[in-house]
Structure 1
Amino acid sequence: MTSIASVTIEATDTAAAERFYAKAFGLTGQVRVRAAQEPSTGFRGFTLSLTVAQPGNVDALIEAALAEGATVLKPAAKSLWGYGGVITAPDGTIWTIATSSKKDTAPPSRDFESVVLLLGVADVPASKRFYTDHGFTVAKSFARMYVEFAADDSPVKLALYRRKALAKTAGVSPEGSGSHRLAITCPEGPFTDPDGFVWEATSLAAAG
């Protein structure tokens, strides 16, 4: 089964981005940073998420992110599915911090359970076929709207969502052009998906 080894975010100020992810979220190998290669305007077509165990952890992570220069897109709030909020990192990447739980069962912390990469795609069934052809295993699928792939021990989970729906969830306009400013690393790379998301070989990322 194919899995994501890490994601690489392209940033104008790489040192600042690295500090942000280390200090705000405590990320180590899941997210890498490198210098931006191409311009990008508007929505980049993806979001990253931290899923956590309880609402207190959502608040703790958002507070830490804001202290390190993030801005709020959607304040943390309760919903039918749980509790969460959306922020923009200083490098422009959109992050959702969320939990399916609606109450705390332990002291709040900045612990998280998983990192999820959600790609906004034009045609969910077509992208689903593309990724299954490249070795990914579907874990959940909801009509033509959403697909989640099995992660097992992967550091980053992969899911697909319709681009306009993803932008609405993030609280931004779906319009955007230029580079995604994202590279995804897996052992089976390199390849590029139908929406222009670039996948690199693990060996290439390690060399970079």
Structure 2
Amino acid sequence: MNTTTAVNALTSITLEVTDPAAAESFYAELGLGDRLSLSEASEPSEGFRGFTISLIVSQPANAEAILNAAIAAGASVIKPAAKSLWGFGGTVQAPDGTIVKVATSKKKNTEPPSRRIDDVVVLLAASDVPASKRFYVEHGFTPGKSFGSYVEFDTPQGSIKLGLYKRNALAKDAGVPADGSGSHRLVLENARGQFTDPDGFAWA
């Protein structure tokens, strides 16, 4: 493992929620109980909070299983599960307001369904993607996939993936209006320390 990449990896995320107990139960149902932390929200937030969490799975049946579990646990449907040109997936909004997308590039099932999550990807809305990309490069992150309004950074195997997406494009992909204000209600963590990016996302 590249030491520099590991130091600058997104090691964990903390969501600020109004009801930590309810949120803990919800994210446990999604299989994310060990992937994120929760804290009680202290700042107001309105509309689109500027990020999405994508759960990448290996086949459509797994996406459906996770989406159905999320809905049963109280999530509201934004985009119903469906096939598309790129694969299969759907988007829901958690009771705390977090937007969760579940997707796979596969269009056919090849094994019994499960709720196994292969990758967790946090996409941050950037008002100026090139400027935000430069900021993260200056903080030691190495760009991987990069095209137009989208950047994904290299991360160690098994860690949470991090990407940047133009705000309007990310909101459109999520299926919500781009308008929003107040706290992101998201804290990102890595081994380097505290900083805040150009769009106000806090790192601890």
Interval containing the TM-score (normalised by the shorter chain): over 0.9
Amino acid at match of 1:127: S
What is the 5 A alignment of 1:1-150? Answer: 1=5, 2-23=8-29, 25-143=30-148, 145-150=149-154
Residue in structure 2 matched with residue 199 of structure 1 by the alignment:
203
Q: Sequence identity of aligned pairs in percent?
A: 59
Q: Show structure 1 runs of 4+ deviating over 3 A.
A: none
Q: State the SS of the aligned residue for 1:155.
A: coil
Matched, 1:180 2:178: no
8 Å contact 1:47–1:95 — kept in the other structure?
yes
- Give 1:83 shift: 0.5
Q: CA RMSD in A?
A: 0.8
Q: Secondary structure of the equivalent of 2:95?
A: coil
CA distance in 2 between partners of 1:83 and 1:199 (Å): 32
- Unpaired runs of 5+ residues, structure 2, are none
Return the offset for 1:151. Answer: 1.3
8 Å CA contact retained: 2:119, 2:158: no
What is the TM-score of this pair, normalised by structure 2?
0.95
* CA distance, structure 1, for counterparts of residue 82 and residue 111 of structure 2: 19
Q: Which amino acid in the other structure matches residue 177 of structure 1? A: S
Post-superposition shift, 1:28?
A: 3.2
